[in-house]
Amino acid sequence: MDGNGRWAKERGLPRLLGHRAGTENTRRVLRACGEFGIEIVTLYGFSTENWQRPKGEVEGLFGIFEDAIDREVPELHRNGVRLRHLGRTDKLPDRLVKKIEDAMKLTKDNDRLILNLAFNYGGRAEIVDATRRIIAEGIDPAAIDEELFSRYLYTAGLPDLDLFIRTGGEMRLSNFLLWQTAYAEYYTTPTYWPDFDKAELEKALLAYSQRKLKLGELIGE
């Protein structure tokens, strides 16, 4: 979800207002995802690298996320959304961690859409964490294969990514789901996240399905 800061700057607003607008926008995008029949969505909200931002912005982001959880979770729950957290909980404010945990508990039996919140997430950190757990459990090295390793990632039990969308024009993966994006289709748009709406999502999905059709022709599917 990139481009909140630039969206605000172009309007002469403080960056945090851009983050607020971006968070508001996630509701709209999630609704559109539901309408398009998407079953699993992962939002990259805060990376392990984002700690390098000014303290005021980091704290502001945490506050915005707390507000968003308070405001959105009841409706997400009513709509059958199951929340999962991808990332480390260390260093995050206790209050935020508690809110995330409560939301996960509340929604754990929902099955219409899985919403992964990648928050204090890093793809390398995830692989390191998986490795630590595999070693701590004394798994026989010979038993470690890709399937087993996947089960130790934060995304345990979820399939690989189909489509990766990056807004704000950057062309980098930025440490996002490194393992799970091995075969993902990559889509990038210059549109800033607060402006990424249903029509933009549809464009991304069309691009994805056209590539898949082409691939199907090539491999004779």
Can 2 be counted among the known catalytic residues?
yes
When asked if residue 63 is in the footprint of ligand IPE (CB under 6 A), the reply is no
Q: What's the CA gap between 133 and 180, in Å, rounded?
A: 18
One of 60, 122, 123, 168 touching ligand IPE (CB under 6 A): 168
Give the range of 45-53, 70-78, 111-119, 153-161 binding ligand IPE by CB under 6 A.
45-53
Q: What's the CA gap between 101 and 73, in Å, rounded?
A: 12
Return the SS3 of 59.
helix
CA angle 61, 195, 92 (to 5 degrees): 15
When asked if residue 5 is in the footprint of ligand IPE (CB under 6 A), the reply is yes
Q: Cβ–Cβ contacts within 10 Å for residue 55, how many?
A: 8
**CB of 134: closest distance to ligand IPE in angstroms?**
30
Between residue 1 and residue 40, which ones bind Mg ion under the rule CB under 5 A? 2
**CB of 85: closest distance to ligand IPE in angstroms?**
16
87 binds, among ligand IPE, Mg ion, none (CB under 5 to 8 A by kind): none
When asked if residue 3 is in the footprint of ligand IPE (CB under 6 A), the reply is yes
Cα dihedral 96→76→195→173 (10° resolution): 60
Q: What's the CA gap between 20 and 63, in Å, rounded?
A: 10
How many DSSP H helices and E strands does the chain contain? 7, 5
Specify the residue for token string 């502001």: 60
For ligand IPE, what does the binding mask look like between residues 175 and 214, x meaning CB under 6 A?
Answer: ----------------------------------------
**CB of 195: closest distance to ligand IPE in angstroms?**
12
When asked if residue 191 is in the footprint of Mg ion (CB under 5 A), the reply is no
**CB of 9: closest distance to ligand IPE in angstroms?**
7
Cβ-based nearer residue to Mg ion, 2 or 126: 2
Return the SS3 of 188.
strand
Cα dihedral 126, 132, 136, 139 sign = positive
Cβ-based nearer residue to Mg ion, 60 or 83: 60
100, 119 contact by CB (below 8 A): yes
Catalytic residues: 2, 50
State the residues that interact with ligand IPE by CB under 6 A: 1-6, 19, 22, 45-46, 50, 61, 168
